[in-house]
Amino acid sequence: MTPQDFVDMLRRHERFLRRQSGGRRAVLTNIDLSGLRLSNMNLREAKLTGVSFRKCRLVNADFSFADLFAADFAEAELTGANMKRADLRGARLCGAVLRDANLKEADLRPGALVVDQYQPREGGSVDFSVERPTEGNGRITDLTGADMRRSNLEAAKLQDAKLVGVDLQRANLSFARLERTNLRGAILTDVRLTSADLAGASVSVASTLWPLDLQLTMRTHAIWADSDGRDGRRAELGRGDMRDMDLSHAFLSGANLAGANLSGANLTSAELVLTNLEGANLDGAYLSRTDLSGANLTGASLKGAVITSVKLEPVVVKRRDGGPGNKLVQTNFSDADLTGAEIAYTSFHKSLLGGMKPVGVIAAINNRLESLQTI
């Protein structure tokens, strides 16, 4: 498609929207428009399946009611864009700027483009058709690291979507469908979640009470972990003061918390896989359904901590180059102090326990519980 063809298509589409003669709906499939400046463009109701708008400038563009199935908006500037009721299944919006954008009732569930095996191939070209997948099938919609401050996502369908490290400050997610959505590291300050469905979502609602600098640290850390260290930045919280904080459902896997003060903290369902907690103070902390697989708690103090249904599985760490020599990392409690800790439904038999002090450990919180798997 030449630039003139594109301009002509837009003119015909404008006539189509006005229901004028000679109008024709804009239809593009698998076209690369990356890097173009298309602000204020009216593509309402257009069919743009698999189109790449990567790094495009689309400020105040109108994509309402458009078919954007599996489109690529990675790193695009979409401030103020209108995507009301757009079909964004399987789309990529990672790193996009969507401040003040309208995504009311937009569909961001999984989706995938597949080659139609029944269409003819000529000249080596490939024709694409759309697979409308059942829920759980197809490529997930990816908004990793997107800036969605003040965006309107009311009643949007975000089931199974990936919103790792998304900035949702003051966004409207009322009545949104967020089942099984990955919101690790998302900033949720002043977000509206009225009647939103978060069943099975990976999210820490408690993060709204954290200091903003901690939220920003968690955001970049989640992006770092999700990208295997290519993007974002590891959380360096060594010797940090997080006493009595609600860190429930927090994502801190791989973070450095060596020497941190977490006494009295609520770590219910927190993810601390391969986290460095060497010498950390966890006295009186509440760890229920916490994942400490492969974590380093060497010399940590857990005096009086509540430890129930905690996961302590070894973790296989693969080489980044894909070569042989994977490493098995066990949870390490060497020289840790568990004096007076209350432990239930937690197995330590796969952990390293050399020098651990279990003096005065209470094996069960409720003496009526039977068949407990403890130390």
Q: Domain boundary at 231, 248, 282, which?
A: 231
User: Is residue 49 a part of any domain in this protein?
Assistant: yes
The C-alpha R_g of the chain, in whole angstroms, comes to: 25
User: Is residue 268 a part of any domain in this protein?
Assistant: yes
pLDDT at position 318: 84
- CA–centroid distance for 333 within its chain: 30
Q: Which two tokens stand for residue 367?
A: 């003496």
The larger pLDDT score, comparing residue 162 to residue 323, is at 162
Residues 245 and 227 in one domain: no
Best CA proximity match to 34, nearest among 48, 50, 55: 55
Contacts of 213 (CB under 8 A, 6+ apart): none
Residues 194 and 295 in one domain: no
Q: Which two tokens stand for residue 106?
A: 């937009």
Q: What is the Cα–Cα distance from 223 to 239, expressed in whole angstroms?
A: 22
The residue range of the domain holding 242 is: 235-375
pLDDT digits (tens, 9 = 90+) for 60-101: 999 999 999 999 999 999 999 999 999 999 999 999 999 999
Residues 59 and 177 in one domain: yes
Residues 62 and 45 in one domain: yes
Q: Domain boundary at 231, 246, 277, which?
A: 231
Q: 112-115 and 128-131: which strand pairing?
A: antiparallel
- pLDDT of residue 42 exceeding 80: yes
Residues 187 and 243 in one domain: no
User: Is residue 360 a part of any domain in this protein?
Assistant: yes
- pLDDT of residue 143 exceeding 90: yes
Residues 202 and 265 in one domain: no
User: Is residue 7 a part of any domain in this protein?
Assistant: no
Mean pLDDT, rounded, of the chain: 90
Report the CATH number at residue 27: 2.160.20
pLDDT digits (tens, 9 = 90+) for 279-294: 999 999 999 999 999 9
pLDDT at position 134: 39
CA distances from 247 to 201, 264, 284 (A): 16, 11, 14
Residues 77 and 213 in one domain: yes
pLDDT digits (tens, 9 = 90+) for 230-266: 999 999 999 999 999 999 999 999 999 999 999 999 9
Residues 223 and 252 in one domain: no
pLDDT at position 326: 84
Domain total in the chain = 2
pLDDT at position 357: 87
Q: What is the Cα–Cα distance from 293 to 109, expressed in whole angstroms?
A: 31
Confidence of residue 138 (pLDDT cuts 50, 70, 90): low
pLDDT digits (tens, 9 = 90+) for 169-178: 999 999 999 9
Residues 322 and 222 in one domain: no
Residues 251 and 222 in one domain: no
Residues 272 and 218 in one domain: no
User: Is residue 224 a part of any domain in this protein?
Assistant: yes
pLDDT at position 286: 98
- pLDDT of residue 192 exceeding 60: yes
Contacts of 73 (CB under 8 A, 6+ apart): 53, 54, 56, 58, 91, 92, 93, 96
User: Is residue 33 a part of any domain in this protein?
Assistant: yes
pLDDT at position 139: 87
Residues 181 and 97 in one domain: yes
- pLDDT of residue 370 exceeding 80: no
User: Is residue 164 a part of any domain in this protein?
Assistant: yes
Q: Domain boundary at 211, 231, 251, which?
A: 231
